[in-house]
Chain A
């Protein structure tokens, strides 16, 4: 079964601390993994996807097929990073996204 697991509902850190939001997935085949972010009172927007292997707003995520993980990391959290983060999965020829439950990141001054 296709599934995305985000084990933490809330991650609370202080400004400047490293952040790692965990995401594990279950998928038979070659998935495409994404991180979406939803800032307060804003729509969901794509943060990054594994195939582009880029850093957005200081965030990076590496697909680890052995551990079936796609954790989101940032070395120094900023207050403006506070938001809801969703990990999502899609597959080649698989016409939809499956979302994890989401992790709320709260960055305190």
Chain B
């Protein structure tokens, strides 16, 4: 149980375009979802926290107008990278937490590799 999926698993887009990444909790209701960014051989850096039905809370240094997060339902959160640039190329990982998963346990998606050309 407690499975989180991401779609797409990888995406290539041209500079200046926008790309949307979906994060779904498949068998539980995710009251909170988290978006991370991971550079090669580096740790996960939290970008933002989103609670269902409310605005996302962004970490310092993360541009909220560039990385749009929507958490409209208890099973879906989306991250839209707007006007993508090559420096946005990275591995984006979401995680989800809900009442069923316990107070602090987060379940992670498989990640989405974004390449901006």
Measured CB to CB, the residues of A under 8 A from B are: 32, 34, 42-46, 49, 86, 90, 95-102
Write out the residue numbers on chain B whose beta carbons fall within 8 Å of the beta carbon of A34: 104
Residue from the list A32, A44, A96, A102 in contact with B108, Cβ < 8 A: A44
Q: Provided the pairs A43-B109, A43-B110, A43-B111 are in contact, do residues A99 and B43 lie with their beta carbons within 8 angstroms? A: yes
Can you list 16 residue pairs at the A/B interface with Cβ under 8 Å?
A44-B95, A46-B105, A46-B106, A46-B107, A49-B104, A49-B105, A86-B43, A86-B44, A95-B32, A95-B49, A96-B34, A97-B95, A97-B104, A98-B46, A99-B43, A102-B43
Q: How far is the CB of B93 from chain A (nearest CB, A)?
A: 7
Is B42 close to A, CB under 8 A? yes
List the 7 shortest-distance A-B pairs measured between CB atoms, nearest first.
Answer: A44-B108, A43-B110, A101-B43, A99-B43, A99-B44, A43-B108, A90-B104
Give me the interface of B with A, judged by CB distance under 8 Å: 32, 34, 42-46, 49, 57, 93, 95, 104-111
B49 touches A101 (CB 8 A): no
Determine the residue in chain A with the shortest Cβ distance to B57: A95
Whether B104 lies near A100 (C-beta < 8 A) is: no
Report how far A98 CA is from B93 CA in the complex, Å.
14
Q: Which residues of A contact B32 (CB under 8 A)?
A: 95
Residue among B43, B45, B93 with the highest chain A CB neighbour number at 10 A = B43
